[in-house]
A and B are shown apart, each in its own frame.
Chain A
Amino acid sequence: KAGVTQTPRYLIKTRGQQVTLSCSPISGHRSVSWYQQTPGQGLQFLFEYFSETQRNKGNFPGRFSGRQFSNSRSEMNVSTLELGDSALYLCASSLGTDMWEAFFGQGTRLTVV
C-alpha cells in the first residue's frame, strides 16, 4: 500500500513569488492536512480538507491556501513568499472518520531567498 506522496521534495523560490505544493494521500483516505515545521515553532497546523471542503484552519495568513480534488489529492499554495516561509511543509492523510491516526509524507523543503 503506497504511503503519502509529496512533490516536490525540495524547492527554492525568491521572495515575492508564489509556490504550489502537492500531496497524494494514502488510497482510501479522505482527509488531508497540511503542517508547517520550523525550528522555532515546531509543527504547526495549516488546514485540513475532507471531501474537497476545508474542515478546519489554523492561524496562518491568507497567503496560505489549499484545495482538495475529487480523488482526495491536495495542493497547497503560498503567495507573495516571505523569507520566514522557509520551512518543511508536511502533508498528512487519514480516513477522516473515527480513526484519528494521521500518516505523514516526507515533506517538501521550501527555501525562500
Chain B
Amino acid sequence: DQQVKQNSPSLSVQEGRISILNCDYTNSMFDYFLWYKKYPAEGPTFLISISSIKDKNEDGRFTVFLNKSAKHLSLHIVPSQPGDSAVYFCAASGSRNYGGSQGNLIFGKGTKLSVKP
C-alpha cells in the first residue's frame, strides 16, 4: 500500500505560469517532507523541505505548503521556466521515535512536469 501518493503522473504548464504539484500521504507519523527534482539518468536533486510544525516554506521560486489535517502537501513553482521540466518526487520521513530515520525516505512515484516556452 502506497504511503505517499502523487496522483498526477504528468503536468504541462506554460512558461511564466504557476506549476502546482500535489502529494498525499496516509501515515500520520510522517513529520518531515521533502521535494526532489530528477532528470533522466541522474540522481534526484533536493529542492525544498518542510517540517510538520510548519505549514509553509519558501525558497526563491519554490514554495511548499503542508496541510496536516488533510495529509496533503503541494509544491508551487512561480514563475515556471523550461529548465524546470523534470520529474518531481515527493518524499516523507517519520520521527525516529516511531522507527523512522533520516535515511528512510518514502517516495511517491513522481510527477513529470513539462514547461512549454
Contacts and interface: CB of A to CB of B under 8 A. Distances in A.
A91 to B, nearest CB: 8
Contact of A48 (B49, B91, B102, B108): B102
Interface stretch (B20-28, B38-46, B66-74, B75-83): B38-46
Contacts of B101: 31, 48, 50, 55-56
Chain B residues touching A, majority SS = loop
Interface residues of B, number: 25
B18 to A, nearest CB: 25
B106 interface: yes
B114 interface: no
Contacts of A92: 43, 103, 105
10 contacts: A31-B102, A42-B108, A45-B105, A56-B101, A90-B43, A96-B102, A100-B102, A104-B43, A106-B43, A107-B43
Interface of A: 4, 6, 31-33, 35, 42-45, 47-50, 55-56, 58, 88, 90, 92, 94-97, 99-107, 109
Closest 3 pairs between A and B when the two form their complex, measured CB to CB: A48-B103, A33-B103, A104-B43
